[in-house]
Amino acid sequence: MRSDVVLGLGGGIDYELTLSAPVLDALVEEYRIGADELDRRAEIRTERDLVISILDHLRHGEGGEHFVVDPEVITTFAARMPRRITLGGSSVRAGLVLSRSGIDPTLHLVTVNDHLRRLLPANCHYVCSGTEDSSYPHLIAQYERGLRVRVGERELTAARANRLIYVNDPPNEEMVLRDDLGDLLSRARVFMFAGLNGIRRSDLLQDRLATLRRALSRLPPEALVYYEDAGFHVEEFKPIVQRALLDRIDVFGLNEDELQSYLGRRVDLLSADHMLTALRQVRTIVPARTLVVHTAHWAAAVGERAADWRAALDAGVTHAGARYAYGDDCTDDQLDRVRRGLRQPQAVTFAEGLERRWGPGLVCRPAARLDVEHPTTIGLGDTFVGGFLSAVVPVGADVGGGL
């Protein structure tokens, strides 16, 4: 199979749902949860643990990703409210954007099932390392701004809309790579990958990293390699992945949650002072050729050739904004409306100030101004990546290498 654009390394099926106050209020009462128990870092073994994790994220208006010890917890919770079955995984969602943009990607998957076959567009080709069908849905729970939940005498209010990811997925945890991945990459102009964050065993991680490096060595010199970071289920594995692969990555992408995880603190995303310090600090932690940070308000590229990615950043924030406003069924007209629409005023001021203070080597593009009563917060980062790549792929052969 020949493809100019290869996306991996895994993917699957999501249970998408929107959290509601009545359901959460009832669960708080049923499990007698107190405000002093809220801690997202605790291991999630029961539905009670899951609810505590959700509430802790909600009170800060933050997103996140967590491993759930018992997959039945995901099934039980998802059955409590209306849900949609959708395609999931960073590479798969990015592939959907490319597909709608007229680009035919090839996906490397670790498992397939009837849902995936039914939902994948005809021009999204795939290869799979799995030998049999399986389905371990990820719970993707979004909440809207202003959602209120009472916990004891305290009322928690979501300051902004966001999404949470809860996972127990053995095929993506094992992340078996196909022996012929190198052959596939040998003809690629773009390789985007993610999903290593789900691996939970050190020996497996080392094996997959060695296999991946061998495959990456087959890429043409001019190929672009884009890596999208994510919430690691074993946090200690994050620097191991970086050390093993950073020299082969041209663009290293992460969202605001991962940015703050690296920093170990929350930052004001619209303060040029705060972000100037934050980006300088994260550049020492992740010394990538080009670091791309995408947030609810802006997206920035930092590196010697940051200016080369200005159009890709614009495409990324446009596609993510269109998904936020219009969801999965966004039309070309709606996408164009977001592209030509107003930007967030504070984000415009922030971006101009950050570029001026940083100087050469940083480009920051403000996100669209969107007043939406019921936004989609699921898959925005993945959609940003797909939009970013959609602006890169049509360019001539010199799209990467040596950045």
pLDDT tens digits along 330-349: 999 999 999 999 999 999 99
* Angle between helices 310-326 and 332-340 in degrees, nearest 10: 120
Pair (312, 323) in one structural domain:
yes
Residue 304: the pLDDT is 87
How much is the pTM?
0.93
For residues 221-245, give the mean pLDDT.
Answer: 96
For residue 403, pLDDT over 70 is answered with: no
- Specify the pLDDT at position 109: 98
Question: Is 67 in the same domain as 40?
Answer: yes
CATH number, residue 188: 3.40.1190.20
For the segment 265-279, what is each residue's pLDDT rounded down to a tens digit? 999 999 999 999 999
In a domain, 359, yes or no: yes
Span 24-72, pLDDT tens digits: 999 999 999 999 999 777 899 999 999 999 999 999 999 999 999 999 9
The verdict on residue 248 lying in a domain is yes
Cα–Cα distance for residue pair 90/381, rounded to 1 Å = 8
Report the pLDDT averaged over residues 247-266.
Answer: 96
Q: 310 and 378: one domain?
A: yes
127 and 214 assigned to the same domain: yes
Residues 152 and 223 in one domain: no
Same domain, 144 and 250: no
Residue 397: which pLDDT band, with cuts at 50, 70 and 90? Answer: very low
- The tokens describing 71, both together, are 């997959």
Query: 81 and 23, same structural domain?
Result: yes
Query: Is the residue at 400 inside a domain?
Result: no
In which element (H, E) is residue 156 found? Answer: strand 154-157
pLDDT tens string 126-145? 999 999 999 999 999 999 99
Residue 335 carries which side chain, given as an amino acid letter? Answer: L
Stronger pLDDT, 78 or 395, i.e. the higher one: 78
Instruction: Please provide residue 44's backbone torsions phi and psi, each rounded to the nearest 5 degrees.
Output: -100, 100
Domain span at residue 29? 14-85+135-167
Residue 276 belongs to a domain: yes
Measure the CA–CA gap between 166 and 156, rounded to whole angstroms.
Answer: 21
CATH code (residue 61): 3.30.1110.20
| DSSP result, 67-114 | EBS-HHHHHHHHTTS--EEEEESHHHHHHHHHHHTT---EEEES---H
Please state which of the ranges 143-157, 361-375, 385-399 shows the lowest mean pLDDT: 385-399
Are 276 and 162 members of one domain? no
- The total of structural domains in the chain comes to 2
What pLDDT sits at residue 42?
83
146 and 208 co-located in one domain: no
Residue 222 belongs to a domain: yes
Q: Does a structural domain hold residue 397? A: no
How far apart (Å, rounded) are the C-alpha atoms in residues 53 and 359? 40
* Claim to verify: residue 271 and residue 212 sit in the same structural domain: yes
User: SS3 for 313-375, per residue?
Assistant: HHHHHHHHHHHHHHHHHCCHHHHHHHHHCCECHHHHHHHHHHHHHHCCCEEEEECECCCCCCC
pLDDT at 400: 42
Helix (H/G/I), strand (E/B), else coil: 136: coil
Residues 123 and 51: beta-carbon distance below 8 Å: no
pLDDT mean over 157-165: 94
Q: How confident is the model at residue 197 (pLDDT cuts 50, 70, 90)?
A: very high
Which residues lie closer than 8 Å to 158 by C-beta, 6 or more apart? 58, 59, 61, 143, 144, 145, 146, 147, 148
CA distances from 313 to 77, 316, 365 (A): 36, 5, 7
List the one residue out of 169, 150, 152, 148 whose CA is nearest residue 67. 169
Residues pairing with 269 in the sheet: none
Average pLDDT value over all residues in the chain: 94
Query: Does residue 402 sit within a domain?
Result: no
Q: Would you say residue 182 lies in a domain?
A: yes
Reduced to 3 states, what is the DSSP secondary structure of residue 139? strand
User: What is the mean predicted confidence (pLDDT) over 154-174?
Assistant: 95
**What's the pLDDT score for residue 41?**
77
Are 122 and 141 within one domain? no
Mean pLDDT computed over 290-312:
97
Cα gap 9→91, rounded to integer Å: 7
Which DSSP string do the residues of 11-79 spell out, in sequence order? -EEEEEEE--HHHHHHHHHHHT--GGG--TTS-B-SHHHHHHHHHHHHHHT--EEEEBS-HHHHHHHHT
Residue 252's pLDDT is what?
Answer: 98
Same domain, 268 and 343: yes
**The pLDDT of residue 394:** 58
Looking at residue 401, what is its pLDDT?
A: 42
